[in-house]
């Protein structure tokens, strides 16, 4: 693309090296700007190339092809990313951004109350683990007769641990893993049970 550069162009009209047009002035002997084939060919091909880049063919009878082509080539501002969805290219767009189809998305929760196994899907990036152990039960105290005062002992508090496993960690990533839940821990007058909940995020 180039600005008008014929000998009669108005030199530096829009700044240094930015020529423009002039209608001329007969009183001062200034001629109007001449137009040449180079300039018109440039205008024609610059405009036609936009239309053809959209996949359309030039139609002499139509006067809206440039606008139609721009709408086809550019993303909508009125409905951001709506055209990507309508084109059916959401997956491709996310992959180009390095996000993948479900990056950062909650997938599901897996709860273990007994030993078992968990298969880590290939598209999973991270697993949040919650390990909970129930506290011990309270202890009772029996009275021997109605004249005695008695009370029970409070139970022990349970414990919870949070951890995160990333696919990039050593020995992590797709595969099947054994999940071992400890046997019931028997304490006086109560019991504890360990449960592991696995929250999967892809």
pLDDT digits (tens, 9 = 90+) for 116-155: 888 888 878 888 888 887 777 666 666 677 676 666 666 7
Specify the length of the chain in residues.
202
In a domain, 160, yes or no: yes
Reported as a single tens digit per residue, the pLDDT across 81-120 is 888 888 888 888 887 887 765 556 777 888 887 788 888 8
In a domain, 20, yes or no: no
In a domain, 86, yes or no: no
In a domain, 37, yes or no: no
In a domain, 120, yes or no: yes
Q: Structurally, how many domains does the chain consist of?
A: 1
Q: Give me the percent of the chain exceeding a pLDDT of 70.
A: 78
Residue 175 near residue 102 (C-beta atoms within 8 A): no
In a domain, 166, yes or no: yes
Tell me what the pLDDT averaged over the chain comes to: 81
pLDDT score recorded for residue 102: 53
Residue 128 near residue 197 (C-beta atoms within 8 A): no
Residue 161's domain comprises 106-201
Alpha carbons 141 and 123: distance in angstroms, whole number: 55
pTM over 0.75: no
In a domain, 69, yes or no: no
């Amino acid at each position: 693309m180039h600005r008008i550069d014929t000998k009669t162009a108005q030199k530096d009209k829009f700044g240094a090296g930015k020529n423009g047009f002039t209608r001329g002035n007969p009183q001062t002997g200034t001629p109007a700007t001449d137009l040449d084939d180079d300039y018109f060919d440039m205008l024609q091909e610059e405009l036609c190339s936009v239309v053809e880049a959209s996949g359309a063919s030039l139609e002499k009878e139509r006067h809206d092809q440039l606008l139609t082509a721009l709408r086809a080539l550019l993303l909508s501002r009125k409905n951001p990313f709506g055209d990507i969805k309508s084109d059916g290219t959401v997956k491709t767009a996310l992959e180009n951004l390095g996000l993948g189809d479900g990056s950062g998305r909650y997938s599901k929760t897996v709860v273990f109350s007994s030993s078992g196994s968990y298969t880590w899907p290939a598209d999973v990036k991270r697993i949040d683990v919650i390990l909970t152990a129930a506290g011990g039960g309270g202890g009772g105290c029996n009275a021997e007769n109605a004249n005695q005062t008695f009370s029970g002992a409070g139970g022990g508090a349970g414990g919870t641990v949070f951890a995160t496993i990333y696919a990039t960690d050593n020995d992590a990533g797709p595969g099947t893993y054994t999940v071992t839940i400890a046997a019931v821990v028997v304490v006086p007058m109560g019991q504890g049970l360990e449960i592991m909940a696995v929250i999967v995020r892809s």
